Structures are given as C-alpha cells and as structure tokens.
Structure 1
C-alpha cells in the first residue's frame, strides 16, 4: 500500500513542526508543557491542515506516552472507549506508561459518548487531546471543556506553506517545478498544509515538469 506523501512528511518533533508559533515557539504554552513533561487534557480548535493531529502525536512522543487515535468519523462508540480505558489502566499499572487519547472530530460525538471520557480524564487514566473545526464552547460538553485547555490553531501563513511545499518537492528530485507553479500551489492552499502537499503529489504524478498548466 502506498503511503500518502502527507503521512510520509508528518513532522516527528517540535523542530520539524511548521506554524503555530504562539503555541510551540520558545516559552509558549505547549512547548513549556512538553519540556516540563506536565501535559494536561486539551482541545485543539482550528481549520483542517493546521497540524492538530501532528501536534498531538508529537506531544505523546515527547512525554513517552502511548498514542491512541480515536475518530468519531470512523464510528467509535462507548464500548470502544471502555476498551481503550481498560488498556490504558493496564499499561499504566504494568509499565507506568501513560496514554494520550487523541479524539479527532470530537464535536461529532454525542453527549453520552463525550460523557464516557469524563471520569477517566478526571482520574488521570488518560490525557485527552480533542481536535475540532467547530467552536468547542458549543460542540463539546461543558464538564469536558472545564477540565481541558482550549488552544486555537490558525490557518498556516504563506511562509509556512512555502516551507511545507519545499519539503514535499524534495521527494521528487527528478521533477522540475517551475517557480510560478510553486507559487500557485502556495497561494491556493488556503493555509492548509495537507492541501499543499496533496497538490504537489498530484502534480508530480501527472508530469515530470510541473508548470501552471499541470
């Protein structure tokens, strides 16, 4: 199975992470939490392609926690939550290894499903990191919001997209990307890093020489 370029390019450290300097820059809140290895539950609120999943993975890696992805879109229910919690308790009991439960599209979970996370966030069994494109004040239950820190992720700036596009192009050393084509990709990605990478990958699949016509 071919691994999408966006997955191959996924940053593995804060130094590789692009954008969101207000959160991960020197002295900023998420960097401080990671450096102190004292991570609380949180919700990332922002548009697609701004690094929500990647940042959650990096946090788990830095604090040496198990990273467990969980998605409302994939149909995860309360029974699956209970299974994850049982495994988290077992891992901590046997290996003193904590669990970061990453809940993508958390706003798509109903109240009962969100309630299922609550006691385990409270007792520290899991560190919950939710991701949403919707205002968590309206879409996430109040008890969960009150026990989490809300962080806003912004659309990426053009300079950030340019960095990402440059990394993607390096995957295709035998291709020629004309400057105008690169600028077009950057400007039309609308601050979405994944869109930019996908555009480079698609263009490279169509021609060895990428111009505005490709």
Structure 2
C-alpha cells in the first residue's frame, strides 16, 4: 500500500516549506544552530504549521516528544507527560529537548495554565513548540511566553508561495505517477490554495479515480 499522498507531499525540510521567507529564515536559523525558542505557530488549517514542527521532531538534532492537543486535552495527562519527560535523565544529553504540542487550541484552560509553569520550570532543559488554528483560544499569559509565528499566506507573498508550491508538487507527482494531467493538477492547486492538506487529499482522490 502506498503512503498517503498528504504524507508523501509533506515537506521534509525547511527548504521545501511554502511559508514566508521571514518565518523560514527564523526556523532554519534555530534548526541549524540547535537553539530553538519557545514558539507558537498559528494560522489557517493546512498552511504548514504541523509540517514545520515535524521537521524539528523528526530530526536527529533534537530529543523530542509530540502531544496531540485534540486527543490529550486533560490537564493531568498533559502536565504529567510533560513533567515526566522533562524530569527524566535524557539518553541524549547533547541534544536540545523539545516538547511539541500540536493543535493546542483544543487544550482546556487548566491545561494551558499548567503549561505556563512547566515552560518556566523547565527553561534549562526543554523548549516548547505549539501549533494552533485559532489563536484567540490561547490564553494571553501563555502567548506572552512564546515567539508567535503567523503561517497564513498574505497577499504580499501569495504569488511567490503559490509558484514555489506548484513546482514542487508537480515534480513530486511526476516522480510518483509518471505522466500526469498538469492542467488538472494546476486547477486543483489554484482552487484550494493555500490549504495544502486539502490540495493533497483532492489530488489523491483524482489519482485514485484515474489509476487502473
């Protein structure tokens, strides 16, 4: 069984990410220097927030865990898991530790409050990366402890971002499927851009229909 197209197309490096140059430069600098700040990635669904956090998570440069905020919403399970991770002796003492909390806008208010203290208590050993779609659901005292990066595609960068994304996707589709209907692919990309996740799902359905 082939890998889901959404995972196949997911960027594996910051070079492949279709985000603003400003955000990309900040993330690349932290990554290359292994000096990650506490951060919050926010923006519309499918704009590269999770993909960016996974580049850190999947790298051998860091010792990291990932928590899905939409599944682990209780204050005790989140707090206890983070506390256990940050307090145990690392098997990789030379690597910076990262706690990645995806979809943190699903966390309860109590969970968010508990995380504020954990960020402060573990500042010598851990850094935190949060992702969310709705920043208004995040408590201001938590936001104030984080570098906030907006992943929404603004009008000023939409042209260059769209072209960069289009070229990468078309090449990857050709690598996977051989001949493709470029006009149809362009139509789907133009229609759903910049929701990269929906584009991947629509393209997967398209190829499912047209592959013997």
Match of 2:181 in 1: 178
- What stretches of structure 2 of length at least 5 have no aligned partner? none
Q: 1:8 to 1:177 in 2, by over 3 A?
A: closer
What aligned pairs does 1:64-79 form with structure 2 within 5 A after superposition?
64-79=61-76
Larger relative contact order (Cα-Cα within 8 Å, sequence gap ≥ 6)? 2
Contact 1:121 1:128 in 2 (8 A): yes
Aligned length: 201
Residue 11 of structure 1 and its aligned partner are, at CA, apart by 2.3
Q: 1:98 to 1:86 in 2, by over 3 A?
A: farther
Is residue 192 of structure 2 the alignment partner of residue 194 of structure 1? no
Residue 162 of structure 1 and its aligned partner are, at CA, apart by 0.8
- What stretches of structure 1 of length at least 5 have no aligned partner? 210-214
Distance 1:144 1:79 in 2: 18
Distance 2:67 2:107 in 1: 11
Q: 1:91 to 1:162 in 2, by over 3 A?
A: farther
TM-score, normalised to structure 1's length? 0.81
Residue 183 of structure 1 and its aligned partner are, at CA, apart by 1.9
Please, which of 47, 51, 59 is the counterpart of residue 50 of structure 1?
47
Match of 1:165 in 2: 169
TM-score, normalised to structure 2's length? 0.82
Is residue 126 of structure 2 the alignment partner of residue 121 of structure 1? no
SS in 2 for 1:103: strand
1:177-206 Cα distance to aligned partner (Å, 9 max, x none):
323212211111231112222222111111
